[in-house]
């Protein structure tokens, strides 16, 4: 047998190829949403390449390639010559479904994907690339209606699915009034109040975001149980009182440690003796080597924020104890927006 060249690689670079071409999957997925493929195939419709080509008004070749690409990603099923939505696509990628995930994908495609093309700039300058510090206080400070709607639709998509999972692992029967700090368009209060009839909730948000939350609450027919309070959790000296559970979902990773600790002190100050704060996040392990979802979300904080990063459960636990919480527990969870919930108990 011929000897291997000393320059031959010992391992095939298959994983490197997968990393290098990861954007192919995302852009196929995002393109299918934007062009309306999953809406076209909603409710069990099964179409041929020719029919999809005609209804989407695209040529046969791109229709054929798009359908094959989406089928390869598990987004479509094929029977004979006809394609239909997979169960995953039918539940989450048809616009108007209760747990529609397309808002998140659209936000990534239009806002974050271009910003990530400047990742080296972010690494070298330690500044975000989705907005310009000095002209805005933060990425949340915008009055542009299109950007605002896109961002909060994105966050609602992620948060409502995370809230649904949280409802199954945390006992909300011990609480009666929930405060969602930085709660966006109200996904957590809406989902949790649907699941727990005894619960009432408040979204604490910036004034222009409260307008969006009220619209979502009205659509959910929960006006009597979910309301909004306008404010700024960073600038206001205290949080609204009268609540026995506070949720911080994908909030603390937007800010530096000093800001996060300050917010937890405000939570502790307003909670009663039986109260608790729930930190729902993609948590890093203690060694800061993963998991990838948390570590790469941290990289996304470099692109999106001035001081944000993803933290570990151990770090949040220290912050909570230092803020005066009596004990801490960590609940593992498998959700799109969190892999763990760090619970700080007042007593």
Residue in 198, 208, 253, 345 annotated catalytic: 253
Mark whether 118 is an active-site residue. no
Report the C-alpha gap between 274 and 10 in whole angstroms.
59
Structure tokens at 293: 């979802």
Which residues neighbour 261 within 8 Å (Cβ) at sequence distance 6 or greater? 319, 322, 323
Structure tokens at 16: 């490197």
Start-end of H helices in the chain: 14-20, 22-35, 37-40, 49-56, 60-72, 87-92, 102-107, 113-116, 119-125, 145-166, 187-195, 207-219, 257-270, 292-304, 313-322
Report the C-alpha gap between 230 and 200 in whole angstroms.
17
Q: Measured in Å, how far apart are the chain's first and last C-alpha atoms?
A: 72
Q: CA torsion sign, 233 to 163 to 284 to 292?
A: negative
User: C-alpha 12: how far from its chain's center?
Assistant: 34
Instruction: Indicate which residues carry an active-site annotation.
Output: 253
């Amino acid at each position: 047998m011929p000897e291997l060249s000393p320059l031959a690689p010992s391992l095939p670079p298959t994983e490197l190829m997968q990393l290098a071409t990861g954007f192919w999957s995302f852009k196929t997925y995002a393109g299918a949403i934007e062009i309306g493929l999953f809406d076209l195939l909603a409710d069990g419709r099964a179409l041929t390449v020719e029919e999809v080509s005609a209804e989407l008004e695209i040529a046969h070749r791109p229709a054929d390639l798009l359908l094959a690409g989406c089928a390869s990603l598990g987004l479509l099923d094929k029977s004979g010559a006809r394609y239909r939505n997979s169960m995953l696509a039918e539940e989450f990628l048809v616009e108007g479904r209760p747990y529609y995930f397309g808002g998140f994908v659209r936000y990534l495609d239009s806002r974050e994907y271009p910003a990530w093309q400047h990742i080296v700039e972010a690494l070298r300058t330690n500044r975000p690339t989705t907005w310009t510090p000095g002209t805005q206080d933060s990425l949340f400070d915008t009055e542009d209606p299109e950007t605002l709607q896109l961002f909060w639709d994105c966050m609602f998509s992620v948060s409502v699915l995370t809230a649904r999972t949280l409802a199954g692992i945390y006992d909300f029967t011990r609480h009666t009034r929930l405060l969602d700090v930085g709660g966006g368009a109200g996904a957590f209060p809406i989902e949790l109040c649907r699941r727990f009839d005894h619960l009432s909730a408040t979204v604490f948000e910036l004034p222009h975001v409260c307008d969006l939350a009220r619209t979502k609450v009205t659509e959910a027919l929960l006006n009597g149980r979910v309301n909004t309070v306008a404010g700024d959790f960073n600038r206001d000296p205290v949080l609204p009182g009268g609540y026995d559970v506070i949720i911080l979902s994908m909030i603390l990773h937007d800010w530096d440690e000093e800001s996060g600790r300050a917010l937890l002190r405000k939570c502790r100050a307003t909670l009663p003796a039986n109260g608790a704060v729930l930190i729902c996040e993609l948590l890093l392990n203690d060694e800061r080597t993963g998991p990838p979802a948390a570590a790469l979300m941290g990289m996304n904080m470099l692109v999106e924020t001035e001081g944000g990063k993803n933290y570990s459960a151990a770090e949040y636990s220290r912050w909570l104890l230092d803020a005066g919480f009596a004990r801490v527990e960590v609940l593992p969870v498998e959700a799109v927006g969190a892999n763990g919930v760090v619970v700080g108990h007042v007593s």
